[in-house]
Amino acid sequence: MSETPTVTWLTQEAYERLTAEYNHLIGPARAEIARKIEAARAEGDLRENGGYHAAKEEQGKMEARIRQLRQILENAKVGEPPADDGVVEPGMVVTVRYEDGEELTFLLGSREESAAGIEAFSPNSPLGSALLGKRVGDSASYTLPTGATMRVTVVNAKPFTG
């Protein structure tokens, strides 16, 4: 059974920023970490070589980020924000009100987009999927990890502009 890739909505600016990061990591950053590993390896006994182990750990983290960026960029939907029609969809900044009156505002989209300082919720998250297609004034229920049901009302839905 193959997993369907998740489409990530990105602004052109976010796409370019992530592409630049990816290109840096697969080029100059990979070459630099290879030099660090080789220099540490040349120092001798690898079992007690802290520099070697640190460089290998750094390499592992970098390769994980490369894989993450590749997946995001391969499945990105780049372009203009969605229409300002009050319908909740990826790329919208959504405000919801809980039954206790507390409000939460977040970007429905990729956390890679949230560099603008706003919290992001995936459209595939329980809250995100419950809100897809809802309009301002609509209510939705979703299940918390504890099994409890939470109910929210859409207060606002505007396109994310960065």
In this structure, what CATH number is given to the domain that contains residue 14? Answer: 1.10.287.180
Domain that holds residue 67: 8-78
Q: Are residues 102 and 154 in the same domain?
A: yes
- Nearest Cα to Cα of residue 101 among 156, 144, 149, 151: 151
What's the predicted TM-score (pTM) here? 0.61
pLDDT recorded at residue 35? 92
Single-letter residue type at 92? M
pLDDT recorded at residue 6? 62
Work out the burial of residue 8: count CB atoms within 10 Å of its CB; fewer than 13 is exposed, 13-18 middle, 19 or more buried.
buried
In a domain, residue 83? The reply is no
Q: Are residues 101 and 66 in the same domain?
A: no
CB 25 within 8 A of CB 47: no
49, 78, 107 - which closes a domain: 78
In a domain, residue 127? The reply is yes
Q: What string of H, E and C letters represents the secondary structure of 106-153?
A: EEECCHHHHHHCCCEECCCCHHHHHHCCCECCCEEEEECCCCCEEEEE
pLDDT recorded at residue 2? 42
* Domain count within the chain: 2
The residues facing 143 across adjacent strands are 149
pLDDT recorded at residue 113? 64
Q: Are residues 20 and 54 in the same domain?
A: yes
pLDDT of 37-73, one tens digit each? 888 888 877 777 788 888 899 999 999 999 989 988 8
4-10 mean pLDDT: 63
Does position 150 have pLDDT exceeding 90, yes or no?
yes
pLDDT of 85-107, one tens digit each? 888 988 889 999 999 999 999 98
54, 78, 102 - which closes a domain: 78
Q: Tokens 């070589």 belong to which residue?
A: 49
